[in-house]
Amino acid sequence: MEEDKFSSYTYGEGKTGLGRPVNFTCRPEEKEVVRDSLERIRTIDIPTTHRVNVGRGTYGSYSRYDITQHKYGGSGHPGAGGYKEVLEIKHPPDGRWGIVVNEYLSHSDFGSGSFTEWETLQDALGAFEAYWRSNKTDISKLPGFKQHVTYGLLTPWFYAIGDEELVGDYAFPEGLQDDPVYRFGRQFVVLDNDVLTIKTCMGTRFISVKSEYRPQGENTYRLIYWDDGSVWKKDIHYPSTPPRPLEEGELWITEAMQQFKQLLAGKSTEFTINFTDGNKFVGKVVKANSKALCAEGRYTLSVHFKGGGKPAEGFQDFKPTPQFPDIISFITGRYRQVGKEVERIEVKKIETAKSGKKWSGVFFNQHV
């Protein structure tokens, strides 16, 4: 039968020649072909556009994705406070996760939106309940936690509608002007809480607010949206020090930041940046005198158990994880699951992976 050709299929998202996002299903092996073919099509007209309204009391948000809201909780009086919700986004586009806990708080001038990703729906529901019991809960330590994303006043990707472009974790908002200075995708040096940092512009918006001192007048503000979800406000009439474009001679700073991120993630243990004046910056991890062995690779081991008996010998391929950041905790935990207590571990040989993690990194707990 004709429909048997699609008994096995996958979901994808592509764009037409004019840039219109299109969701599609096809055979898994033809996904890239279909995506490339869409670029040859000028437009696609669909008689009925499927949009889901996710309700929040008397309010709601539209989305072009199929979303189920499994839990919702609001707080504060109308116009302030916020909400928290557990969402399941069916068939999320490439590179995005479909189980999230979304939260928005309107306590600040520009609001504070963020979402967390979870391995399973049950993990997300558990995190939701834990938060409402105590908002001091460290969500990153809860089972199934994947990552935390702050979007501020930007729109998270799962609430994209119509032709809105997905940029990383966000939907490019409608109504953002392509400012002649603060242009989308350009990097700037920004003073953030008295610390200079580099951010990427996601666009700008101008707003007018009635003046408190001139009854018939208005104050106009420029809002600059950054890639980390934060917003910078500029009063055009009384300008403060504005973010400035990153100059060509400062590109080494972004290179240093990227290399430092690689080091923190455990991909390297040192890096060097050459300054234009001939000076150098050298960053290096100096490991403590510790028994923790956390590099990714193949370990040849002899494992001795409490109560005696023949030791277990052989090799073990290992990659550090948040649960097991070193080989000792990994082997000890694995045997504990089968009811065996490890007395000591003898490491006879280590073959580190050339492109693997050189150490567990700062984001994993260190058992030293």
Which of 233, 227, 221, 168 lies closest to 202, judged by CA?
Answer: 227
In angstroms, the CA 228 to CA 366 distance is 28
In this structure, the number of other CB atoms found within 10 A of the CB of residue 211 comes to 12
The one-character DSSP state at 177 is: B
Please report, for the chain, how many H helices and E strands are present, in that order. Answer: 4, 22
Q: Is the dihedral of CA 125, 129, 132, 136 positive or negative?
A: negative
Burial class (CB in 10 A: 0-12, 13-18, 19+), 110: middle
Do the bridges between strand 218-226 and strand 231-235 make them parallel or antiparallel, or are there none, so unpaired? antiparallel
Burial class (CB in 10 A: 0-12, 13-18, 19+), 175: exposed
Token pair belonging to 305 = 């158990």
Q: Greatest CA separation found in the chain?
A: 89
In angstroms, the CA 174 to CA 168 distance is 16
pLDDT tens per residue, range 252-308: 677 677 777 777 666 677 777 776 667 777 777 666 555 558 788 899 988 888 887
Phi then psi dihedrals of residue 49, to 5 deg: -95, 125
In angstroms, the CA 82 to CA 104 distance is 5
In angstroms, the CA 276 to CA 86 distance is 50
Each residue's pLDDT expressed in tens, for the chain with a length of 368 residues: 444 555 566 777 777 776 667 777 787 778 888 888 887 776 665 533 345 556 555 455 778 888 999 988 875 544 456 788 999 998 888 778 999 999 887 654 445 788 999 999 999 999 998 877 666 667 888 999 999 988 876 788 898 887 677 877 888 765 666 577 887 778 888 877 766 788 888 888 777 767 666 666 677 777 888 888 788 876 654 556 788 888 766 666 776 777 777 776 666 777 777 766 677 777 776 665 555 587 888 999 888 888 877 888 888 898 888 778 888 888 888 888 888 888 888 888 888 887 777 666 655 544 33
- Classify the phi-psi angles of 120: left when phi > 0, otherwise alpha if psi is within -120 to 50, otherwise beta: beta
Contact 289, 336 (CB under 8 A): no
Give the SS3 label for residue 296. Answer: coil
pLDDT tens per residue, range 135-187: 666 788 899 999 998 887 678 889 888 767 787 788 876 566 657 788 777 88
